[in-house]
Amino acid sequence: MKNLLLILVLITTLNSFSQSVEIIHKSENRNLPEGKIFAFIEPTTDTSQIKYVATILARDKNKKSNIEFLYFEIRKEATKIGANCFRVKSFERGGKRNEAILILDCYVANETTLKQNTKNHENNVVYIFGGERDDDKSTSFKINGVEIELRSGTYYKLSLKPDEEIRISKGGFTGSTITLNWEEGKELSFYSLSGLGLAAMEKQPMNGISFNTGSVNRMGNISLGLLLAYILKQAN
């Protein structure tokens, strides 16, 4: 009896720290082909041709939950039912149950709209992320030798300019340095100083390739980067 009670307690504990995904509203659109991408819809994109598919919620009771894992769980469910793009409905962390909850409105857009959405991304812009939570430690890094302390829960944004070289470094002699230059039409890029946005490769679909080269790591999933920039606060 005691063993049975222990098993029940363990199951309850494990369940209380597991992720869950829920479709909280779904449209009448049925039999859509599976989505191949899951794009962040830019505010400037004409959305008159997109169709609503569903609103999906992901939650995690684990105190160490990451936005990226909630995003990938929603992405997996959304693309199954035909969504290929999304807008952020809400994100919250904490509360009485100490949960992280991400809710995305998911849509399907035609190829023309998706291409235009990509064109609406900023060019020659770089986002640098430290930690995700407000109560985590801050992260120090350097831009062209000038030290910057990036508070957790924020990101640093910079624009590349013609004839200017930007060197981003972290970790001193044993760390890493990347060099960035302006290029005509260069797509925006995202870098992580803490492991944020660097899920394991099996979690990273399609364009979600992370380049782990040291203390400054490039995030390959542009939609995830834009989601993080939307949720977190700009530091500068």
Residues 184 and 143 occupy one common structural domain: yes
Residues 78 and 132 occupy one common structural domain: no
In this prediction, residue 173 carries a pLDDT of 65
In a domain, 9, yes or no: no
Backbone phi, psi, residue 74, to 5°: -65, -45
User: Which domain, by its residues, includes 217?
Assistant: 122-234
In this prediction, residue 65 carries a pLDDT of 66
In a domain, 7, yes or no: no
In this prediction, residue 11 carries a pLDDT of 40
In this prediction, residue 62 carries a pLDDT of 58
Two structure tokens written together for 19: 């992720």
In this prediction, residue 181 carries a pLDDT of 96
In this prediction, residue 98 carries a pLDDT of 80
pTM exceeds 0.75, yes or no = yes
Residues 204 and 186 occupy one common structural domain: yes
Domain count, the chain: 2
Residues 146 and 165 occupy one common structural domain: yes
Q: Which of 182, 164, 181, 158 is nearest to 236 (CA)?
A: 158
CA dihedral 115, 75, 134, 90 (to 10 degrees): 80
- The whole-angstrom separation of Cα 28 and Cα 9 is 40
In a domain, 104, yes or no: yes
SS3 32: coil
First to last CA, the chain: 59
In a domain, 3, yes or no: no
- The whole-angstrom separation of Cα 118 and Cα 42 is 8
Domain boundary residue among 118, 149, 165?
118
pLDDT mean values, one per 10 residues, the chain (236 residues): 40 49 91 94 96 96 78 96 97 83 97 97 96 84 94 95 94 81 96 71 43 72 96 94
Q: How many helices (H) and strands (E) does the chain have?
A: 4, 14
Residues 58 and 107 occupy one common structural domain: yes
